[in-house]
């Protein structure tokens, strides 16, 4: 074989022959062994590369031709995963001890020497509004307005500090490099500025906010460390952790608006409108983030805003219950937190950072959930407070597109945050760790990881001291909730008649009735005497009648300070009423009722609240008895005392009494129910004074007072004339056999405990169907 046996050629003369030329080429370089095995070995990597390329092209061609989409997607996914792995998010490396301090600079700001403990921070894009001027006048607080690219260049407001884009750039903060020019998230600069200038409290506000009563301390807890706070507010109501699967709540239900939901609440939770079965309690003092509510235009999302209006020009004016107690969130449960009505204490200043890689309407909500999770690492919690501001609804467009990050991701985010854990050794390291984990999960991007690193370094630079870590309660066994740990609060269900949405006719009718009843009796005080154990019934009675009346005062043989039950003997109950009259001087009237008289308030709308009501037209309730014909000593004694008191009546009382009653008779009235309008309160008090220490019984004194105050022909006797009154029941008669929703009241019914109360509610629902929501 010529080629195989070829040896090193000898030099030869140049020739034009091709072979000679070939020999000349070999002569210039050392000869190589050209046997096949050696050649294959030397070129193996090239052969494999070509083979793989051909195979890949063939496979792709085959998959596309055959239509095996699943196989093709699997192939593409593998390629994508490989590409992602090669471009993983870089974890910031920070030398925390090397961060240089950054003090206020006179060159950067004319406010270098200014200090204040309390700051209100707002973003401004338009000239100062009346609301903003009011914020500047809130006593004890410094207003800081942060500008953006939309802010007028000549923006100015007396009493406020304004940071223009140019001034922000001179402050030396790392975070400035990450902030968009045309967004409210530039408030992050304002937070750092406030901290640098001595802030201990920051109120994150909106330029449309009007503080209720111009006093942020009216509802918010501003001094968590002081002894006065510990004495005045030792405990807070707290949502129960009994259901471990419940991760987010709608706080608007607690404050009376069950049909409204806050921006940031997962839409799948919007239908959870029932009130809490019970609450627990938590010691006050660690509510480092305090979320207030807004009357007028609350914090609602675009879904609510666009679907609950009949016209786009209609303005919301939604009201929450001012009297509802603030309520805290336990670890493992979250609530939407916004950036226009929230107090941050110094322990939570790190949680003010507004992310920059998400849509503007999602930024503060994502921040709120992120901050809540970190708050648990230092033993803190969020609390929600009654209305602290009022915002006007300008009926402007509400961009759904700006909320896309909420509606797509917020439910998944909450689950992720509750499951997230970190073994980092300091708070700032855990904050950075969480921000990195959220970027990996796609809740925000790497930009916010870098922004978090810059934010934390800026906090250190301005002198902020990070709080110490505490053990996570979530990782400890939850305490069993005993009956003694349960606290009850039944929220008002305020009508949402402002909503333009047309509901079913039945619901509209029922809510309309409730509004009418509340409007009619909303300034009437109900005074109830309980003969049953108050520890089992007091809250239930307040739940039933508190929806309708101004307030419910409960009397009983034994006082109970925890349940606000006053002590009073039934036989002398009328003597306690002057004290109630004095407490509620602005009330329209006072309705007294015993707990065994069931009030069907819906049948009293036509009663005249300027006149006296009593059961003078009800057989067996109002009885005239001659003194001499009754042999019982008790009646004789009562009659003698009545004669004595009447003889001492002033002329107007005595004349009125004697016009209706002969001197030889005595009126006995069950007095289980009667009404005293405000114009007769003074007379009633005077008559109680005239009785003095005499032991005239309630059933004798009340009818005597009524006859002395006015003539029976002036009573609104028809108000209570048709009540069902059965003092002598047969053994086989049940309440359901004689109860009717068409009477103004029904007597008697004994309610001794909660099961009895539930039965009562179900029967009364025939007249007030909304009562079924209470059970």
Rounded to a whole number, what is the distance in angstroms from the first to the last CA of the chain? Answer: 105
CA atoms of 672 and 621, how far apart (whole Å)? 9
Position 512 scores a pLDDT of 63
Identify whether residues 217 and 171 lie together within a single domain: no
Identify whether residues 615 and 554 lie together within a single domain: yes
**Count of domains for the chain:** 3
Regions in the chain scoring below 70 on pLDDT: 1-87, 106-108, 226-233, 271, 307-313, 395-401, 404-405, 407-408, 495-512, 562, 628-631, 773-775
Instruction: Answer yes or no: is 95 within a domain.
Output: no
CA atoms of 208 and 133, how far apart (whole Å)? 10
Identify whether residues 157 and 232 lie together within a single domain: no
Identify whether residues 404 and 544 lie together within a single domain: no
Identify whether residues 305 and 408 lie together within a single domain: yes
Identify whether residues 743 and 598 lie together within a single domain: yes
Q: How many helices (H) and strands (E) in the chain?
A: 24, 21
Instruction: Answer yes or no: is 149 within a domain.
Output: yes
Q: Which of 145, 173, 196 is the last residue of a domain?
A: 196
Identify whether residues 308 and 379 lie together within a single domain: yes
Instruction: Answer yes or no: is 107 within a domain.
Output: no
Diameter of the chain by CA atoms? 168
Identify whether residues 217 and 185 lie together within a single domain: no
Instruction: Answer yes or no: is 640 within a domain.
Output: yes
Hey, how many other C-beta atoms are within 10 angstroms of the C-beta on 77?
10
Q: Which of 173, 196, 219 is the last residue of a domain?
A: 196
DSSP state for residue 400 in the 8-state scheme = S
Structure tokens at 653: 């009382």
Q: Which of 196, 218, 245 is the last residue of a domain?
A: 196
Return mean pLDDT, the chain: 84
Identify whether residues 192 and 306 lie together within a single domain: no
Identify whether residues 132 and 235 lie together within a single domain: no
Instruction: Answer yes or no: is 270 within a domain.
Output: yes
Position 733 scores a pLDDT of 87
Instruction: Answer yes or no: is 681 within a domain.
Output: yes
Identify whether residues 622 and 770 lie together within a single domain: yes
Instruction: Answer yes or no: is 487 within a domain.
Output: no
Identify whether residues 369 and 280 lie together within a single domain: yes
Instruction: Answer yes or no: is 562 within a domain.
Output: yes
Position 654 scores a pLDDT of 94
434: containing domain: 207-462
With the CA atoms of 105, 107, 110 and 112 taken in that order, what torsion angle do they form, in degrees rounded to the nearest 10?
10
Three-state helix/strand/coil letters over 532-570 = CCHHHHHHHHHHHHCCCCCEEEEEECCCECCCCEEECCH
Position 51 scores a pLDDT of 54
């Amino acid at each position: 074989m010529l080629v195989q046996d070829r040896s090193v050629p000898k030099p030869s003369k140049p020739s034009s022959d091709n072979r000679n030329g070939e020999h000349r080429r070999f002569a210039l370089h050392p000869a190589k062994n050209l046997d096949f095995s050696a050649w294959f070995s030397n070129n193996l990597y090239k052969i494999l590369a070509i083979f793989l390329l051909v195979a890949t092209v063939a496979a792709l061609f085959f998959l596309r031709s055959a239509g095996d989409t699943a196989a093709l997607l699997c192939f593409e996914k593998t390629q994508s995963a490989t590409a992602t792995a090669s471009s993983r998010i870089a974890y910031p490396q920070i030398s925390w001890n090397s961060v240089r301090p950054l003090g206020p600079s006179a060159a950067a700001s004319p406010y270098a020497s200014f200090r204040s403990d309390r700051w209100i921070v707002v973003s401004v894009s338009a000239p100062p509004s009346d609301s903003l001027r009011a914020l500047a006048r809130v006593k004890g607080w410094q207003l800081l307005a942060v500008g953006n690219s939309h802010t007028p260049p000549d923006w100015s407001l007396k009493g406020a500090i304004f940071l223009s884009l140019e001034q922000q750039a001179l402050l030396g903060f790392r975070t400035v490099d990450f902030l968009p020019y045309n967004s409210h998230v530039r408030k992050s600069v304002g937070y750092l500025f406030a901290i640098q200038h001595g802030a201990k409290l920051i109120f994150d506000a909106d330029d449309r906010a009007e503080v209720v009563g111009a006093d942020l301390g009216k509802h918010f807890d501003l001094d968590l460390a002081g002894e006065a706070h510990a004495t005045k507010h030792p405990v807070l109501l707290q949502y129960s952790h009994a259901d471990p699967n419940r991760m987010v709540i709608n706080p608007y239900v607690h404050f009376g608006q069950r049909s409204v939901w806050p921006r940031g609440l997962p839409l799948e939770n919007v239908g959870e409108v029932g009130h809490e079965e019970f609450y627990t309690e938590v010691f006050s003092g660690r509510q480092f983030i305090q979320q207030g509510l807004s009357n007028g235009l609350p914090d609602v999302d675009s879904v609510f805003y666009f679907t609950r209006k009949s016209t786009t020009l209609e303005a919301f004016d939604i009201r929450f219950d001012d009297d509802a107690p603030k309520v805290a969130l336990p670890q493992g449960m979250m609530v939407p937190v916004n950036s226009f009505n929230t107090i941050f204490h110094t322990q939570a200043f790190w949680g003010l950072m507004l992310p920059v890689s998400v849509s503007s309407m999602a930024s503060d909500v994502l921040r709120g959930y992120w901050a809540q999770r970190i708050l648990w690492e230092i033993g803190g919690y969020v609390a929600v407070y009654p209305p602290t501001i009022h915002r006007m609804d300008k009926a402007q467009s509400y961009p759904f597109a700006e909320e896309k990050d909420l509606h797509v991701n917020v439910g998944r985010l909450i689950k992720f945050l509750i499951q997230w854990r970190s073994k980092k050794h300091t708070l700032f390291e855990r904050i950075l760790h969480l921000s990195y984990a959220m970027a990996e999960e796609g809740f925000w991007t790497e930009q916010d990881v870098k922004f978090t690193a810059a934010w934390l370094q800026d906090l250190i630079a301005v002198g902020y001291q990070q709080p110490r870590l505490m053990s996570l309660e979530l990782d400890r066994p939850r305490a069993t909730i005993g009956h003694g740990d349960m606290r009850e609060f039944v929220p008002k269900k305020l009508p949402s008649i402002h909503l333009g949405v047309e509901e079913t006719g039945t619901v509209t009718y029922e809510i309309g009735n409730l509004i009418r009843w509340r409007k009619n009796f909303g300034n009437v005080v109900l005074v109830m005497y309980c003969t049953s154990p108050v520890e089992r019934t007091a809250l239930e009675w307040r739940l039933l009648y508190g929806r309708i009346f101004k307030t419910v005062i409960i009397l009983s043989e034994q006082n109970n300070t925890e349940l606000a039950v006053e002590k009073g003997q039934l036989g002398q109950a009328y003597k306690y009423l002057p004290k109630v009259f004095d407490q509620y001087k602005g009330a329209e009237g006072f309705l007294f009722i015993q707990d065994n008289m069931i009030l069907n308030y819906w049948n009293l709308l036509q009663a005249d609240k300027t006149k006296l009501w009593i059961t003078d037209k009800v057989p067996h309730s109002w009885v005239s008895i001659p003194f001499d014909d009754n042999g019982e000593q008790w009646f004789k004694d009562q009659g003698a005392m009545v004669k004595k008191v009447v003889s001492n009546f002033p002329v107007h009382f005595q004349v009125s009494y004697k016009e209706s009653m002969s001197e030889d008779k005595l009126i006995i009235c069950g007095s289980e129910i009667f009404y005293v309008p405000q114009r007769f309160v003074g007379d009633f008090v005077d008559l109680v004074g005239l009785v003095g220490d005499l032991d005239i019984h309630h059933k004798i004194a009340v009818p005597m007072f009524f006859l002395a105050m006015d003539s029976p022909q002036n009573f609104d006797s028809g108000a209570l004339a048709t009540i069902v009154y059965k003092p002598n029941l047969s053994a086989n008669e049940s309440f359901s056999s004689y109860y009717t929703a068409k009477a103004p009241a029904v007597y008697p019914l004994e309610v001794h405990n909660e099961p009895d109360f539930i039965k009562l509610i179900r029967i009364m629902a025939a007249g007030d169907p909304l009562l079924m929501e209470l059970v």
